[in-house]
Amino acid sequence: MRPLALRPLLHCRRPAIYSLPSIRTPTPFTPRTYAVQAPGAPTLQVFNSHVKYLQKERAASNPEQSRQVDYLRDEIATRLADRLLDINRDFPHILDLGANACNLSRALTTPLSDTEPPASSRITHLTCAETSPTLLHRDDALPLPSPLEITRTVLPTLESLPYEADTFDAVISSLALHWVNDLPALLAHANRALKPDAPILAAMFGGDTLFELRTALQLASQERRGGVAPHTSPLADVRDIGGLLTKAGFKLLTVDVEDVVVEFPDMFALMADLQAMGESNAVLGREMGGIGREVLAAASAIYKELYGEEGKEGIPATFRVIFFIGWKESPDQRKPLPRGSGEVNMKDILGGGSIN
């Protein structure tokens, strides 16, 4: 089922961050926190990777339905292609890490305006890497708006990349990293696979994504069952990303957040789309079997009451997307000047005024 609307407007080239009104404050959620582990310590497993693989395979087994729910992946891929165009250089070989159905390839080969060529005009080869073969090859037969040489590679996991050092001119990842158990290891592998002074550019769900659904299910479970089960997945906080990139060896970091609000007819339409996307819950220790009709009915009513706008059809669902870029270190890379090396007095710039 297609959503009623996608906000912010898709024609905005670099849209501002859109948040819900202040009365709709996000409720507490279970964030993923990343601490520095001792050498040799086992990786903390948050997600069941096999369950996530099966969810993606099942979703892609119905290609037509799978394409109908690509609206969010296509939108974020377009924003990443736009950001790539901001970098004034060519990228002979790019890795699309966690490629899903190679949504990024379509965004890269589509002109963003009538006056500039697509991002693919700067790219020679795109390697699309994905763990789900059915999803990866879903659109093999569909033509792209512009020519682009593509290699599709099925990986057993995204957390251990099989590529040689200094292989890629850029690594891009669109809405895939939020399912990775060992994100620090993945970023370190990506850094190794990049050439010196090459960027990683990524977008991942984080923070308060789907806080409306999370709140409704928690309140309904508490009301009907007297307890709360993990029906939604924990997500990384934007404050973690900078530290993870630094630990992986990246420099010149930029991290920002954009909220995309999608309007759905009701909570059940939202949950159906998440399942068709392959984005259902895959947390280890999650409740097996269905949530239960009583809980779902109560959650739907709570969702509409708390977040539905009076006199307006449908409900909003907020997807908080963390965008980040980091650069592999290089000897000739521009670096900040040492502290205290400035030769201009700020008082002179301010015309003799004071700095408060």
How is 110-139 classified by DSSP, letter by letter? S-SSSSS--GGGGEEEEEEEES-HHHHTTT
State yes or no: pLDDT of 351 exceeds 50: yes
CATH code, 277: 3.40.50.150
**Do the domain assignments include residue 325?**
yes
Q: What does DSSP say about strands 315-328 and 250-264: parallel, antiparallel, or unpaired? A: antiparallel
State yes or no: pLDDT of 332 exceeds 90: no
Share of the chain above pLDDT 70, in %: 81
Rg (CA), the chain: 22
**Contact predicate 214/153, CB 8 Å:** no
Tokens at 280, concatenated = 């259902």
Peptide bond into 234 cis (omega under 30): no
**Do the domain assignments include residue 345?**
no
User: Rounded distance, CA 123 to CA 148, Å?
Assistant: 8
**Do the domain assignments include residue 354?**
no
**Do the domain assignments include residue 339?**
no
Average pLDDT along the chain: 85
pLDDT tier at 310, thresholds 50, 70, 90: confident
- Residues 6 or more apart in contact with residue 193 via CB below 8 angstroms: 95, 161, 163, 164, 165, 166, 167, 168, 171
Give first-to-last CA distance, the chain, whole Å.
55
Count of structural domains, the chain: 1
pLDDT of residue 341: 77
pLDDT tier at 289, thresholds 50, 70, 90: low
State yes or no: pLDDT of 266 exceeds 80: yes
**Do the domain assignments include residue 74?**
yes
pLDDT of residue 19: 32
Which one-letter DSSP state was computed for residue 271? H
**Do the domain assignments include residue 340?**
no
pLDDT of residue 345: 76
What is the arrangement of strands in the sheet containing 123-130, beginning at the earlier edge strand?
5-7, 250-264, 315-328, 199-205, 170-174, 91-97, 123-130, 149-154
Identify the domain containing residue 265 by its residue range.
5-35+45-330
State yes or no: pLDDT of 26 exceeds 80: no
**Do the domain assignments include residue 344?**
no
State yes or no: pLDDT of 172 exceeds 50: yes
Which position has the higher pLDDT, 282 or 138? Answer: 138
pLDDT of residue 293: 87
Q: What string of DSSP letters covers 66-118?
A: HHHT-HHHHHHHHHHHHHHHTS-S-EEEEEEET-TTTHHHHHHTS-SSSSS--
**Do the domain assignments include residue 218?**
yes
For residue 49, the Cα-to-chain-centroid distance in whole angstroms is 17
pLDDT of residue 14: 31
pLDDT tier at 237, thresholds 50, 70, 90: confident
- Residues 6 or more apart in contact with residue 28 via CB below 8 angstroms: none
- Residues 6 or more apart in contact with residue 211 via CB below 8 angstroms: 26, 27, 29, 318
For residue 334, give the H/E element and its range.
none
